[in-house]
Homo-oligomer: A and B are copies of this chain.
Amino acid sequence: MDKVNLAAKFGLIEEYWSPRVVGELNGQMVKIARLKGEFIWHHHEAEDELFLVVKGRLVIQLRDLEVSLEAGELFIVPRGVEHRPVAPEEAHVLLFEPKGTLNTGNVRNERTIEEPPAVV
């Protein structure tokens, strides 16, 4: 039962697009990630996914629109909805999603992280 200082935890992450677990509750994971550049198109079959921008700007592309999130803004991508996160510059993002949610959703490739580690 320790508190989590998000800025300190982001400071420990070196890689982009590599989610780290900072908390778990009710079968849900709280993850953080440093994002920069474009991710891949994917969807999550059975999981809704929340993105909260802590720093920078994150664009979430959907097939028919795109949502631009600044720090202090959040967006929930419902299950089944194809999306692609894009960070024009570096963004620090907090994610809420069920345990076991794969970062690349229905896609498995070199960007897939099977078991995101905790931030040390």
Cβ A26 vs Cβ B4 within 8 A: no
By a CB distance below 8 angstroms, the chain B residues around A97 are 25-26
Interface of A is mostly: strand
Q: Which residues of B contact A78 (CB under 8 A)?
A: 1, 25
Taken together as a complex, chains A and B put the C-alpha atoms of A47 and B26 apart, in Å, by 7
The reply to whether A50 and B23 contact each other, CB–CB distance below 8 Å, is: yes
A12 within 8 A of B: no
Interface size class of A (residues with CB under 8 A): 20 to 34
Interface residues of A in 58-109 (CB under 8 A from B): 62, 67, 69, 72-78, 81, 96-98
Contact indicator A75/B28 (Cβ below 8 Å) = no
Q: Which residues of B contact A81 (CB under 8 A)?
A: 1
